[in-house]
C-alpha cells in the first residue's frame, strides 16, 4: 500500500484546507502610483509534474491554485487556495484513500507590495485540518513576480509558475466555495469518506473475527506465513510467499518479513529479463508497530533487496496495516484488500519455497 506524501517543496501544496477566508489587515496602505500594476481580483494557476524522489517517486502531481488578491495602494493582501491531486504511478492504492489517487486542499495567507510591474509576495500563514489524506506542512514561501496584463509570473529559487486572471470567476468545485467552506465540510471533501470506509471495513473485520478477549496485548511474537498462488497480468503463474519474523516487548512489536515473488512461464517461453522460464524476486521489509488488545497497527519502515534480479522493476512502496490477532491467525487490512498470516506448524518449512 502506498503512503501519502508527507513533505513538499516550497512551490507545492502541503495539506488539507481549513480556516476562514478573511484577508490580511493591519498594515497601512501605501499610495498606489499610476504606474503600478493592478493585481486585485482572482487569478488561476495550474502546475503539473511527476514526483522525482521519496516514497512517492513516479507519482503524478497536479496542483490547481486560485489566488484572491486585494490591493490598497501598493499594499497587497489576500490568500490562495490550492487543490493538489496525486495519482499513483504504479496503480497501487494509497493508504488514506484506498484508491490509486487522492486530493488534498490547502490555504495560504499572503501579503506583499507592488512596484510598477514588479510584485513581491510572501506567505504568512497556512491553514490545515486533520484527515486521512492530509499532508505535512511545508516552509512558507516568498515570491518575486512580474505582472504583464492578465498574467503574473511567480518565481521562487526552485520553481517558476504562471497565474492568469480569472475574468469570469464562478463558484465551482475548485473555486471560492472551497476557500469559504467550514472545516467539517472540508474534511468531508478531502478524505473523511475514505476514513469512514476504512473504519467500517475494520469493524466488519472485527465482527467476523470476534471481540477481543483481553485488554492485555495479544502475543504475536514469532514466525508467521502467508502464501498465495495466482495469475500475473501476462497470464503466467505467480507465486507469492511472505515469512514474517516478529519480536514483541509488551505492546510494541518490531522485526521484518521476507517477501518472495516467483513467476513461472505458462507457455514455455523464456522471460527476456531472466533468459529462463521462471524468475524470483526477494525483498526484506523492516516493520514496527503496536498491539492493543487483539488489534494491531503495523508500519513498514524500510526494505532491502535480498536477491537482485534483472526482472525487478524496482517499484516498491512502504505499506501500513491494521489487523486482528486471533490464536494462530493474524488478519491484516491494507490497501484495497487483506491477507491472513498463519503460524507455521512444526512440519511446515519456513524457508522461502
189 backbone dihedrals φ, ψ, rounded to 5° = -80, -10
Taking 80 as the threshold, does the pLDDT of residue 300 lie above it? Answer: yes
191-212 confidence digits (pLDDT tens): 334 334 444 554 455 455 554 4
128 and 240 both lie in a single domain: no
79 and 164 both lie in a single domain: yes
**For the chain, what is the domain count?**
2
Domain's final residue, options 194, 226, 247: 194
Between 113 and 16, name the one with better pLDDT. Answer: 113
pLDDT at 129: 58
Please give the C-alpha separations between residue 168 and each of 134, 165, 202, 262, 319, in angstroms, as whole numbers: 31, 9, 46, 57, 44
**How large a percentage of the chain has pLDDT more than 70?**
72
239 and 124 both lie in a single domain: no
223 and 284 both lie in a single domain: yes
In a domain, 22, yes or no: no
Query: Which structural domain range is residue 318 located in?
Result: 210-342
88 and 142 both lie in a single domain: yes
Q: What is the mean pLDDT of residues 242-258?
A: 94
185 and 216 both lie in a single domain: no
279 and 314 both lie in a single domain: yes
Distance CA(224)–CA(141), nearest Å, equals 48
Contact present, 42 and 67 (Cβ < 8 Å): yes
Alpha-carbon radius of gyration of the chain: 26
Between 42 and 129, name the one with better pLDDT. Answer: 42
pLDDT at 207: 53
Query: What's the mean per-residue pLDDT of the chain?
Result: 76
Taking 50 as the threshold, does the pLDDT of residue 169 lie above it? Answer: no
Contact present, 205 and 222 (Cβ < 8 Å): no
Please give the C-alpha separations between residue 117 and each of 38, 150, 152, in angstroms, as whole numbers: 9, 12, 9
172 and 232 both lie in a single domain: no
Q: What is the mean pLDDT of residues 227-238?
A: 87
177 and 272 both lie in a single domain: no
DSSP string, 226-253: EEEEEE-TTS-EEEEEEEEEEEEETTEE
169 and 268 both lie in a single domain: no
Taking 80 as the threshold, does the pLDDT of residue 13 lie above it? Answer: no
Taking 50 as the threshold, does the pLDDT of residue 45 lie above it? Answer: yes
Apex 100 CA angle, 304 and 163, nearest 5? 110
177 and 320 both lie in a single domain: no
Q: What is the mean pLDDT of residues 68-94?
A: 87
Retrieve residue 267's grid coordinates. Answer: 507457455
Taking 60 as the threshold, does the pLDDT of residue 73 lie above it? Answer: yes
Taking 70 as the threshold, does the pLDDT of residue 183 lie above it? Answer: no
Distance CA(341)–CA(33), nearest Å, equals 72
Name the DSSP class of 343: P
Question: Would strands 337-342 and 142-148 be described as parallel, antiparallel, or unpaired?
Answer: unpaired
Question: Model pTM?
Answer: 0.44
In a domain, 5, yes or no: no
Of 130-139, 181-190, 227-236, least confident by mean pLDDT is 181-190
Res. 130 pLDDT band, cuts 50 70 90: low
pLDDT at 111: 95
Amino acid at each position: 500500500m502506498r503512503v501519502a506524501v508527507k513533505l513538499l517543496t516550497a512551490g507545492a501544496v502541503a495539506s488539507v484546507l481549513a480556516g476562514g477566508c478573511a484577508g490580511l489587515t493591519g498594515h497601512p496602505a501605501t499610495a498606489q502610483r499610476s504606474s503600478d500594476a493592478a493585481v486585485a481580483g482572482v487569478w488561476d494557476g495550474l502546475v503539473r509534474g511527476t514526483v522525482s524522489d521519496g516514497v512517492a517517486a513516479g507519482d503524478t502531481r497536479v496542483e490547481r491554485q486560485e489566488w484572491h488578491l486585494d490591493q490598497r495602494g501598493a499594499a497587497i493582501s489576500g490568500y490562495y487556495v490550492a487543490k493538489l491531486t496525486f495519482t499513483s504511478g504504479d496503480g497501487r492504492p494509497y493508504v488514506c484513500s484506498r484508491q490509486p489517487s487522492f486530493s488534498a486542499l490547502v490555504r495560504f495567507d499572503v501579503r506583499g507590495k507592488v512596484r510598477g510591474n514588479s510584485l513581491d509576495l510572501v506567505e504568512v500563514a497556512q491553514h490545515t485540518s486533520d484527515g486521512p489524506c492530509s499532508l505535512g506542512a511545508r516552509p512558507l514561501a516568498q515570491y518575486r513576480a512580474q505582472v504583464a496584463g492578465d498574467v503574473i509570473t511567480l518565481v521562487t529559487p526552485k520553481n517558476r509558475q504562471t497565474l492568469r486572471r480569472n475574468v469570469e470567476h464562478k463558484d465551482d468545485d475548485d473555486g471560492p466555495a472551497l476557500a469559504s467552506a467550514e472545516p467539517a465540510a472540508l474534511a468531508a471533501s478531502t478524505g473523511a469518506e475514505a476514513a469512514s470506509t476504512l473504519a467500517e471495513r475494520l469493524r466488519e473485520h472485527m465482527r467476523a473475527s470476534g471481540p477481543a478477549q483481553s485488554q492485555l496485548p495479544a502475543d504475536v511474537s514469532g514466525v508467521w506465513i502467508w502464501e498465495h498462488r495466482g495469475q500475473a497480468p501476462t497470464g503466467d503463474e505467480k507465486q507469492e510467499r511472505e515469512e514474517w519474523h516478529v519480536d514483541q516487548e509488551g505492546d510494541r512489536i518490531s522485526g521484518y518479513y521476507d517477501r518472495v515473488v516467483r513467476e513461472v512461464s505458462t507457455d514455455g517461453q523464456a522471460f527476456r529479463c531472466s533468459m529462463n522460464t521462471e524468475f524470483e524476486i526477494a525483498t526484506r521489509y523492516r516493520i514496527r508497530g503496536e498491539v492493543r488488545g487483539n488489534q494491531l497497527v503495523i508500519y513498514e519502515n524500510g526494505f532491502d533487496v535480498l536477491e537482485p534480479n534483472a526482472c525487478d522493476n524496482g517499484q516498491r512502496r512502504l505499506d501500513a496495516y491494521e489487523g486482528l490477532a486471533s490464536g494462530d491467525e493474524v488478519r491484516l487490512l491494507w490497501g484495497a484488500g487483506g491477507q491472513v498470516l498463519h503460524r507455521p506448524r512444526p512440519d511446515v518449512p519456513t524457508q522461502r519455497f
